Amino acid sequence: MAAVTLKNVVKRFGVFEIVHGADIDVEDGEFVVFVGPSGCGKSTLLRMIAGLEDISGGEIAIGGKVVNDVEPADRGIAMVFQSYALYPHMSVEQNLSFGLRMNGNPKADTERRVKRAAEILRIAELMKRRPRQLSGGQRQRVAIGRAIVREPQVFLFDEPLSNLDAELRVQMRVEISRLHKELGVTMIYVTHDQTEAMTLADRIVVLNAGNIEQIGAPLDLYDDPANRFVAGFVGSPKMNFLAAQVVGNDGSATVVELANHGGARLRKSLSGAPPAVGAEVVLGVRPEHFFEAGEGDCDIAVKADVAEHLGSVSYIYANAGPEELIIEREASRQRATGDHMVVSIKAGRSLLFDKSGARIR
Amino acid sequence: MRYQNATAYRFLAPYLLIFSIFWLWPIISSFLISFQATRTVPWRFAPTFNWGRLIGDPAFFNALKNTLLILVIQVPVMITLAIVMAVLLNSPLLKARGLFRFAFFAPVVVGEVAYSAVFRLMFNLDYGIINKLLNSVGLPRIDWFSNVTPAMAVIMIAVTWRWAGYNAIILLAGLQSIPQDVYEAATLDRVSKLKQFFYITLPLLKPIIVFCAVLSIIGTMQLFTEPFLITERGGPGGGTETLGLLLYRQGFRSLNFGYASAIAYTMAGLAIAISLVQLWLTREPK
Ligand SMILES: Nc1ncnc2c1ncn2[C@@H]1O[C@H](COP(=O)(O)OP(=O)(O)OP(=O)(O)O)[C@@H](O)[C@H]1O
Ligand SMILES: [Mg+2]
């Protein structure tokens, strides 16, 4: 059991700074997901926690002990790699027990741990096989099993499901969630898939180009993103961003005009200081937050370009000038390409961002 | 379908023709020749003439003994050395990797005659650098080419020098195909670098090591240049004569084609047999 603390952690490769001072507190037993687009430094951060990469600046502590100069094996962590990194020439059983055997762990204890891991992951019948005789999902289980056998204080996962097909991914996601409940240990999980992040995490750390954009519970990030990047990253399909201009302020509310929608206006109350009149802003509306005409505070007319019908919902891709909007509809099966439709935006169901992407609350 | 096959064979015909004349026929022909007495005119069929001689020929057994001795000592030493070289080449700490890779591979490119001349010079009794070095550290000079044991040693050193780098490059390719994260997983499992080498690198490299070993066995079975040029035709007194050299003597000096063919087939048979044993010993357990 251990908390993981990152204090102003910096990573440089040569002259390139990849991680620009990350502060993260992972509580004991918590499931934290690092999420962000490809190349944003998620793996690098995880590998620094594991000790596979040097820390260029700042401090990492596990269980209250600074581990900057502690060997990877002594950090009390276990890592599951994206590529599984199983020992190809060893059977599943040998893969699980290798680390313990190499360190002279008592045989009976090794056997007990391997047996337990095999039971937890339901791989007991695969023990004699080699990795290449396993399916992707089975390999992933073995990789997780190898981590369990170490009885670590912290589990680190680096995109463990990205090589699996969609169905298996959902299944393994549930298993990892179950594992977290069963073992009750701290888990740090890296993914670029926001659905995985939303479904697994107690808290999500959203990274972008080596910076932490926001840390919070999944639904908090969804409901109350700190900036346009987080708003666009969390939620699927992506949030729509509509160009707008401030045309007036009255009391605690501001009025914006949607530039690409024939001057449609929306009055939105704010808790903070309102932006200056004339300022260019961006209005964010999630696909699921477009309402029927007249139901909201501001109606806009759009023309459907493409309609995707998934059964329970339909996604309508609509063009309005230079903006492409995605609109989610529950009962719109009859909608077809070229249809004109009017949708409505609610002030309370939209978010305002300034030009730099910061949230205007 | 059959028509397509016929067309394919018509396109292949020129190759197959040349293949048959210059490759297949010599193999068959030499096999047949090994059953003929070729020192009489005309040649006559005498199945036991050459093969019978072979079984009782002290020169053949001397050459066989020398060849096998070189094989048994030189091949393992060279492969071990090649593995070490490959691991060093693969080390992230190494600077100027390309230069080393070239340097290790260079001996294969050097002409055989030039390389043999250099080795003769280096091991020369009076002014060779090896004896100078021995002298400088207080050891007595060695008359490398007048005694059998040192002469054999020179041959083994020369062959090893020539081919170790070549094998190292092949092994390096194998090393580079082992994914890095397997080592990272082992590091997290608290497995030391040395144990990683013995428990991960070596087993994963095994198929390539076996491949190199088989290549080397085949090469050493045919060993010719070094005993011919460096120890001057298997000297001293046949002490370094190999099967390849004996074959040459019989075929090209004495023009005894029947006997030479029998020796050639023995060499090939032994190379195949040893390689098969090697493959069998190192087969994947299943
Ligand atoms: N050894 C290295 N040397 C130089 N740059 C590196 C090295 N490793 C990673 N980088 C750079 O660091 C940045 C972050 O890499 P990292 O692997 O952490 O990304 P990631 O967020 O895990 O992306 P992905 O989702 O694609 O796995 C990238 O721009 C990458 O090019
Ligand atoms: Mg990554």
Do residues A159 and A253 share a domain?
A: no
Question: Looking at the partner chain, which of B185, B191, B195 has a beta carbon nearest the beta carbon of A85?
Answer: B185
Grouping H, G, I as helix, E, B as strand and the rest as coil, residue B71 is: helix
Q: Which atom of ligand 1 is nearest to the CA of A36?
A: 21
Same domain flag for A136 and A273 = no
Q: Which domain holds residue A309?
A: 240-360
Residue at A264: amino acid letter: A
- Is residue A287 within 8 Å of A341, Cβ to Cβ? no
A250 and A338 fall within a common domain: yes
User: What residues make up the domain containing B94?
Assistant: 58-281
Would you call A79 an interface residue with chain B, using a CB distance cutoff of 8 Å?
yes
pLDDT at B124 over 80: yes
Residue B86 has pLDDT above 70, yes or no: yes
Residue A25 lies in a domain: no
* Domain-embedded: residue B132: yes
Q: Mutation test of the interface with chain A: which of B182, B189, B205, choosing the one with the most A Cβ atoms within 10 A?
A: B189
Per-residue pLDDT of chain A (361 residues; tens, 9 = 90+): 689 999 999 999 999 999 999 999 999 999 999 999 999 999 999 999 999 999 999 999 999 999 999 999 999 999 999 899 999 999 999 999 999 999 999 999 999 999 999 988 888 899 999 999 999 889 999 999 999 999 999 999 999 998 888 888 898 899 899 999 999 999 999 999 989 999 999 999 999 999 999 999 999 999 999 999 999 999 889 999 999 999 988 878 899 999 888 888 999 998 888 888 989 999 999 999 999 888 889 999 888 888 888 888 889 998 877 888 999 988 666 767 777 888 999 999 999 999 999 999 8
B182 lies in a domain?
yes
| Local structure of B138: helix, strand or coil | coil
Q: What does the pLDDT read at residue B43?
A: 84
Co-location of B123 and B234 in the same domain: yes
Residues A151 and A175 in one domain: yes
Same domain, A48 and A182: yes
Q: Which one of A52, A75, A149 would you mutate to disrupt binding with B, by most B Cβ within 10 Å of its Cβ?
A: A52
pLDDT of A25: 94
A89 and B CB contact within 8 Å: yes
Beta carbons within 10 angstroms of residue B129's beta carbon: 11
| Total number of domains constituting chain A | 2
Examine the fold and report which residue of A200, A233, A266 is the final residue of a domain before the chain moves on.
A233
Give the one of B188, B195, B200 whose C-beta lies nearest to A50's C-beta: B188
Domain assignment present for residue B171? The answer is: yes
- Give the pLDDT score at A1: 66
Indicate if A209 and A253 belong to the same structural domain. Answer: no
Residue type, A253: A
Question: Which residues in chain B are closer than 8 Å to A80, comparing Cβ atoms?
Answer: none
A351 plus A326 within the same structural domain: yes
CATH of the domain at A315: 2.40.50.140
- CA A177/CA A157 separation, integer angstroms: 12
Does B222 map to a domain?
A: yes
> Which residues of chain B lie closer than 8 angstroms to A85, CB-CB?
179, 181-182, 184-185
Same domain, A227 and A326: no
The number of folded domains in chain B is 2
User: Average pLDDT, stretch B120-129?
Assistant: 90
B22 plus B66 within the same structural domain: no
Regarding whether B136 and B65 lie in a shared domain, the answer is yes
Same domain, A43 and A190: yes
Q: Is residue A18 part of a domain?
A: no
Nearest to A70 by CA among B185, B190, B197, B186: B190
What pLDDT was estimated at residue B286? 59
Q: 3-state secondary structure string, chain A?
A: CCCEEEEEEEEEECCEEEEEEEEEEECCCCEEEEECCCCCCHHHHHHHHHCCCCCCEEEEEECCEECCCCCHHHCCEEEECCCCCCCCCCCHHHHHHHHHHHCCCCHHHHHHHHHHHHHHHCCHHHCCCCHHHCCHHHHHHHHHHHHHHCCCCEEEEECCCCCCCHHHHHHHHHHHHHHHHHHCCEEEEEECCHHHHHHHCCEEEEEECCEEEEEECHHHHHHCCCEHHHHHHCCCCCCEEEEEEEEEEECCEEEEEECCCCCCEEEEECCCCCCCCCCEEEEEECHHHEEECCCCCEEEEEEEEEEEECCCCEEEEEEECCEEEEEEECCCCCCCCCCEEEEEECHHHCEEEECCCEEEC
With respect to residue A49, please indicate whether it lies within any of the assigned structural domains. yes
Sign of CA dihedral A273, A276, A277, A280: negative
Domain membership flag for residue B31: no
- Determine the pLDDT at residue A320: 76
Q: Whose CA is nearest to atom 20 of ligand 1?
A: A39
Contact at 8 Å (CB) between B171 and B208? yes
CATH number of the domain that B174 lies in? Answer: 1.10.3720.10
Q: Give nearest CA residue, ligand 1 atom 7.
A: A13
Distance A230 CA to ligand 2 centre (A): 19
Within this chain, do residues B18 and B110 fall inside the same structural domain, yes or no?
A: no
Output the pLDDT for position A294. 87
Same domain assignment for residues B253 and B118: yes
Asked if B19 and B139 sit in the same domain, the reply is: no
Which of the listed residues A211, A233, A255 is the one where a domain comes to its end?
A233
Q: Which residue among A72, A85, A103 sits closest to B179, beta carbon to beta carbon?
A: A85
**Do residues B211 and B137 share a domain?**
yes
Q: Is residue A192 lining ligand 1, measured as CB closer than 6 Å? A: yes
Which candidate from A78, A87, A99 shows the least CB-CB separation from B182?
A87
CB contacts < 8 A, A to B, total 59
Chain B CB contacts of A52 under 8 Å are: 184, 187-188
A264 and A201 share a domain?
Answer: no
B9 and B148 within one domain: no
Same-domain check for residues B97 and B224: yes
Count of alpha carbons within 13 angstroms of residue B258, beta-carbon side: 20
What's the confidence (pLDDT) of residue A20? 93
Q: What crossing angle do the helices spanning A92-102 and A107-121 adopt, rounded to 10°?
A: 140
Tell me the sheet residues that pair with B37.
Answer: B44
Q: Give the model's confidence band at B101: pLDDT under 50 very low, under 70 low, under 90 confident, else very high.
A: confident
A102 vs B181: CB contact, 8 Å cut-off?
no
Partners of residue A98 in chain B, C-beta under 8 Å: 186, 189, 191, 199
> Quick one: B135 and B252 in the same domain?
yes
Q: Tell me which H or E stretch contains B45.
A: strand B44-45
| Domain-located, residue A252 | yes
Please list, in sequence order, all residues whose beta carbon lies within 8 angstroms of the beta carbon of residue A247, skipping any fewer than 6 positions away: A255, A256, A257, A265, A277, A278
Question: For residue A87, which residues of chain B lie inside 8 Å, CB to CB?
Answer: 182, 185-186, 200
Contact status of B185 with chain A (Cβ, < 8 Å): yes
A229 and A244 in a single domain? The answer is no
Which one of A173, A198, A233 terminates a domain? A233
Residue B34 lies in a domain: no
A20 is a domain residue: no
Residue B38 lies in a domain: no
In which region does residue A105 sit, left (phi positive, over 0), alpha (psi from -120 to 50) or beta (all else)? beta
Q: How far apart are CA B150 and CA B117, in angstroms?
A: 17
DSSP single-letter state for residue B284:
P
Residue type, A13: F
Over the stretch B240-266, which tens digit does the pLDDT of each residue have?
Answer: 999 999 999 988 888 888 899 999 999
**What CATH number does residue A200 fall under?**
3.40.50.300
Most B CBs within 10 Å, among A44, A74, A79, A133, to test the B interface: A79
C-alpha separations of A161 from A84, A147, B65 in Å? 10, 15, 59
- Average pLDDT in the B111-117 region? 91
pLDDT tier at B172, thresholds 50, 70, 90: very high
The string over B240-267, giving b where at least 16 C-beta atoms fall within 10 Å of a residue's C-beta and e elsewhere, is: bbbbbbbbbbbbeeeebbbbbbbbbbbb
Judged against a pLDDT cut of 90, whether residue B284 lies above it is answered with: no
Rg of chain A taking only CA atoms, in angstroms: 24
CA A208–ligand 1 middle distance (angstroms): 12
Cis peptide before B107 (omega within 30 of 0): no
**B285, pLDDT greater than 70:** no
Same domain, A97 and A179: yes
Residue from A9, A11, A13 to probe ligand 1 pocket by mutation (most atoms less than 8 Å from CB): A13
Question: How many Å lie between the centroid of ligand 1 and the Cα of residue A40?
Answer: 7
Using the structure block, give the residue that is written with the tokens 């057994």: B61
- Structural tokens at position A41: 């430094």
